[in-house]
Structure 1
Amino acid sequence: MIGHADIQALIPHQGAMCLWDEVVAWDDARVRVRTHGHRDPAHPLRSGGRLHAVHLCEYGAQAMAVHGGLRARAGASVARAGMLVALRGIQLYVARIDDLAGAIECEAQPLAESEHSQQYAFRITHAGALIAEGRAAVMLHGDTA
């Protein structure tokens, strides 16, 4: 099982800002991750005691980073750091997520990749219902490993 500590070793997000608890499944074409942390009263993205659905964009972006880290590790490499530069086609189907009982899951898959950038699609669900979806683009930094 790939748990929270393993995920933190793959991505730059640490501590409470590492939003995913576990990797449920992955291959070269996609990753599926799960968390229960959205209910934590000390969640670092909460505002006014609530965790708004717009933060699901960060969850989607971190799922991308997890997938990139897993793919790099499988190739005996380290993923390059990246900066989120665009969100497109974002659809939020709930107003907030701190009140959702049980886990949320995300599936992310690369749509386009180059030496300098990546674009992924992500879908986030709760109890089998779609709560957010969209695309995110990342510009990669540094040399390839």
Structure 2
Amino acid sequence: MSTWSYELIPHRGAMRLLDELIVWDDVRIHMRTASHACADNPLRSDGQLRAVHLCEYGAQAMAVHGGLLAQREGAVAAPGLLVSLRAVQLYVARVDDLPGPLGVYAEKLLDSGTSWQYAFRIEHRGQLLAEGRAAVIAAMG
């Protein structure tokens, strides 16, 4: 298991959805979390966390990956804006009732320096819950 800091991502408080960094390299990241089961998860509505919100889990793994890559180079990752989700497949309706942690995976497909595309997938005990692709552009500051 690798170490990481929440300071790598812009999310604060309960919106920090990811708990553990398992492993990462230049292209991939694997994280784990149990925040889907937390009653105070800010993405819940009507007491449930719907599977569509797993896209945010994937996006946060992407942000951590970008932050780790920048940190390795002695830099800070530029803030990014999620601009598209594509080919998203949801295999369950909700996830708040799943016991134990979720596996959150992201793989960098494209890096232009100012935009990035990743594939992501979320699993629970070997079962695929959600997958898709996401594109991010650097926020203009």
TM-score by length of 1: 0.93
2:134 maps to amino acid: A
1:2 paired residue number: 3
SS class of match (2:70): helix
From 72, 80, 83, the equivalent of 1:82 is 80
* Seq. identity, %: 56
Residue 117 (structure 1) aligned to one of 98, 115, 118: 115
Q: Which residue identity does 1:98 align to in structure 2? A: D
Cα deviation, 1:52-98, whole Å, max 9, x if unaligned, reads 00000101111100000011111111001000000000000010010
1:142 Cα shift? Answer: 4.4
Could you tell me which amino acid in structure 2 is paired with residue 2 of structure 1? Answer: T
In the alignment of these two chains, the number of paired residues is 140
**Unaligned 5+ runs, structure 2:** none
- Select the residue among 92, 96, 106 that pairs with 1:98: 96
Question: Cα deviation per residue 1:91-116 (whole Å; 9 max; x = unaligned)?
Answer: 00010010000100111011111122
In the aligned structure 1, how far is the partner of 2:38 from the partner of 2:66? 26
Runs of 4+ in 1 over 6 A off after TM superposition: none
Q: 2:61 is aligned with what amino acid?
A: A
Q: Deviations over 1:6-41 (max 9, x none)?
A: 1x1100001110110010000111000000111001
Normalising by structure 2, we get a TM-score of 0.96
